[in-house]
Amino acid sequence: MNRLVMLAMSLSMSACAGFLAPVDQPTAEQLREEVLVYTDSALEGMTYKRIQQVKATSCKNEVWDPDPSEDDAMNRLREKVSSVGGNGIANLRCEAAKETNYRGKCWTSITCYASAIKVDRNSAKSE
């Protein structure tokens, strides 16, 4: 019986191991200032370089977890963009999962997809 309980606890803990805590508020605020979202028209006339595609998910893994939110997914996305050397987000798309993601162990989730970009903010067009 003890082996069964230990196995169940081990599986339960490993299921949660892949989930990160939400981005803390001070970091989220700093990232909002440093990693901006750009539309195609806003990028016209600016010098920038695409780094890579990124995605981030806000996930409700446990019953007591808060519901996923686009704000949480965006905080996580900005954090990823910053970690790969970007300071901008282009081609942003966020969507809620239409069904439970058993593989990702999310009851509900919102995922944002984008291109991480490095923008030369000194190249902004003058108005």
pLDDT digits (tens, 9 = 90+) for 60-99: 888 888 899 999 999 999 999 999 999 999 999 999 988 7
pTM to 2 decimal places: 0.78
Residue at 39 is within a domain: yes
Structure tokens at 3: 């082996």
Domain count, the chain: 1
Do 70 and 97 form a contact (C-beta atoms < 8 A)? no
Structural domain harbouring 62: 34-123
Residue 29 has pLDDT above 60, yes or no: yes
Q: Is 107 helix (H, G, I), strand (E, B) or coil?
A: coil
What number is the average pLDDT over the span 46-66? 93
Domain of residue 107, CATH code: 3.30.110.70
